């Protein structure tokens, strides 16, 4: 089922055809990612939020749980309602892993576009999914048709997708940082290193001892060194770009800040004559949400706070054979909800920048 209603408005001397406002539903809108999605969709000029579900908060006004949305979102959280969700044009799942896979098939059958912000559809191999997420996949038949929602890699496929697997936060920063080198075959793909740091919101809105202020504050630590769930996701995208297997050492760290990811990436160059700055500037010249900084720059996480942008700087220390790429994003925006809205814009034929032109918060 395709929804195609439209209206017309006059912009200057040009008649512009616009689709009717997109009816959006959100499943699981009480976490940090859900709150960020609400913030962005509430200000989106072409979206009407129709339903926000939460079993635990059903009947609670959204603005009571998130006071920052007072005057912008008047809805109450409601219990999951298949009929109401099926009446939407697009449904976002801002839920824990394992939820979307049980509800997405029926929505897709009803003609709804689905964007999953969790990991249910990111990996193409159901056995690999079970290995990393500890349970059988509920609808492996949908894995092949799901489109991995990194616009800088899969823009054309996203536009025609019925099901979008929104990328993880670490994979977004790491993949965008390494992509130009991998695509051109300029580095040793078997010995890539990603040293990444994330703020505590990356772990979600939950009560766990390591995330308490008294534990995470004034502290810095690595975790999941033997293997993080985002590792196969990153490798899958890099292998798509390389056309062959890659070898990646990925080590995530928790840092005492709320939002942001900083990925420091290392790759051994095969061609020492390549102009890295020119390579990155050319690759991302037409990408609205990737900002390649001037030569010698060092991007900061605060420069992307609340903005749907990845800022990248590329270095070659001492003129040696190692490329060092610095990549920063806001894990809740370009690493989650902002990228989901970017994907929605592409799905419905909008300029992908619509509703995402906010400037990063400073300080």
Q: What is the pLDDT of residues 131-163, one digit of tens each?
A: 999 999 999 999 999 999 999 999 999 999 999
User: Average pLDDT, whole number, for the chain?
Assistant: 93
**Cα–Cα distances in angstroms (integers) from residue 350 to residues 16, 332, 342, in the given order:** 12, 22, 9
Residue 19 has a pLDDT of 56
pLDDT tens sequence across 248-304: 999 999 999 999 999 999 999 999 899 999 999 999 999 999 999 999 999 999 999
Buried b (16+ CB within 10 A) or exposed e, 92-128: bbbbebebbbebbbebbeeebbbbbbbbbbbbbebeb
Residue 8 has a pLDDT of 39
Cα 238–chain centre separation: 16
In angstroms, the first-to-last Cα distance of the chain is 46
Q: Is 182 found in the same domain as 326?
A: yes
* β-sheet bridge partners, residue 249: 193
Determine which of 107-116, 208-217, 340-349 has the lowest per-residue pLDDT on average. Answer: 208-217
- Among 88, 169, 235, 310, the one annotated catalytic: 169
Structure tokens at 100: 């979307």
Residue 204 has a pLDDT of 80
Determine which of 17-21, 138-142, 193-197, 340-344 has the lowest per-residue pLDDT on average. Answer: 17-21
Alpha-carbon distance of 289 to 126, in angstroms, equals: 31
Structure tokens at 6: 């439209």
Residue 15 has pLDDT above 70, yes or no: no
Residue 294 has a pLDDT of 98
Q: Residue 245: which domain range?
A: 170-331
Q: Is 192 found in the same domain as 125?
A: no
Q: Is 103 found in the same domain as 47?
A: yes
Q: Is 190 found in the same domain as 94?
A: no
Give the length of the chain. Answer: 363
Among 299, 150, 320, 324, CA closest to 237? 150
Q: Which letter does DSSP use for residue 56 in this model?
A: T
Structure tokens at 353: 């920048």
Q: Which residues contact 307 (CB under 8 A, 6 or more apart)?
A: 330, 333, 334, 338, 358, 359, 360, 361
- Pinpoint the alpha helices (H) of the chain: 32-42, 62-65, 82-86, 100-109, 126-133, 151-159, 169-183, 213-216, 230-242, 276-283, 338-347
Domain presence at residue 250 = yes
- Confidence at 2, pLDDT banded by 50, 70, 90: very low
**Rg of the Cα trace of the chain?**
20
Q: What angle do CA 194, 127, 155 make, to 5 degrees?
A: 55
Alpha-carbon distance of 333 to 259, in angstroms, equals: 9
Residue 49 has pLDDT above 60, yes or no: yes
Q: Is 130 found in the same domain as 32?
A: yes
Domain total of the chain:
2
Domain presence at residue 16 = yes
Structure tokens at 54: 């939460």
pLDDT tens sequence across 71-89: 999 999 999 999 999 999 9
Residue 342 has a pLDDT of 98
Q: Is 300 found in the same domain as 266?
A: yes
State percent of the chain over pLDDT 90.
88
Domain presence at residue 152 = no
What is the CATH classification number for the domain harbouring 247? 3.30.360.10
Q: Is 239 found in the same domain as 310?
A: yes
Q: Is 234 found in the same domain as 101?
A: no
Catalytic-residue membership of 10: no
Residue 57 has pLDDT above 70, yes or no: yes
Q: Is 249 found in the same domain as 106?
A: no
């Amino acid at each position: 089922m395709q929804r195609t209603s439209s209206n017309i408005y006059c912009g200057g001397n040009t008649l512009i055809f616009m689709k009717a406002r997109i009816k959006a539903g959100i499943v699981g809108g009480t976490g940090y990612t859900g709150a960020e999605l609400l913030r962005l969709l509430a200000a989106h000029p072409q979206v009407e939020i129709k339903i926000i579900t939460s079993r635990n908060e059903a009947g609670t006004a959204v603005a009571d749980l998130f006071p920052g949305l007072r005057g912008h979102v008047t809805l109450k959280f409601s219990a999951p309602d298949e009929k109401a969700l099926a009446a939407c044009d697009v449904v976002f799942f801002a839920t824990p892993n394992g939820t979307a896979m049980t509800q997405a098939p029926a929505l897709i059958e009803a003609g709804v576009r689905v964007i999953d912000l969790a990991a249910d559809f990111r990996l193409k191999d159901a056995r690999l999914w079970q290995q990393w997420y500890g349970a059988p996949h509920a609808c492996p038949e949908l894995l092949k048709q799901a489109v991995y929602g990194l616009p800088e890699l899969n823009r054309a496929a996203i536009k025609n997708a019925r099901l979008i697997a929104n990328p993880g936060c670490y994979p977004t920063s790491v993949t965008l940082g390494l992509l130009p080198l991998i695509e051109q075959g300029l580095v040793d793909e078997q010995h890539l290193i990603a040293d990444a740091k994330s703020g505590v919101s990356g772990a979600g809105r939950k009560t766990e001892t390591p995330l308490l202020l008294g534990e995470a504050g004034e502290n810095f630590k690595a975790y999941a060194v033997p293997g993080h769930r985002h590792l196969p996701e990153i490798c899958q995208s890099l292998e798509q770009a390389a056309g062959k297997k890659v070898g990646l050492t990925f080590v995530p760290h928790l840092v005492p800040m709320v939002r942001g990811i900083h990925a420091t990436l290392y790759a051994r160059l095969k061609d020492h004559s390549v102009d890295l700055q020119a390579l990155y500037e050319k690759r991302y010249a037409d990408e609205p949400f990737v900002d390649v900084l001037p030569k010698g720059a060092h991007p900061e996480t605060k420069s992307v706070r609340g903005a749907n942008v990845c800022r990248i700087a590329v270095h070659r220390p001492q003129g040696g054979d190692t490329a060092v790429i610095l990549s920063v994003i806001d894990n809740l925006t370009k690493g989650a909800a902002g990228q989901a809205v970017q994907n929605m814009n592409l799905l419905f034929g909008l300029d992908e920048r619509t509703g995402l032109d906010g400037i990063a918060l400073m300080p």
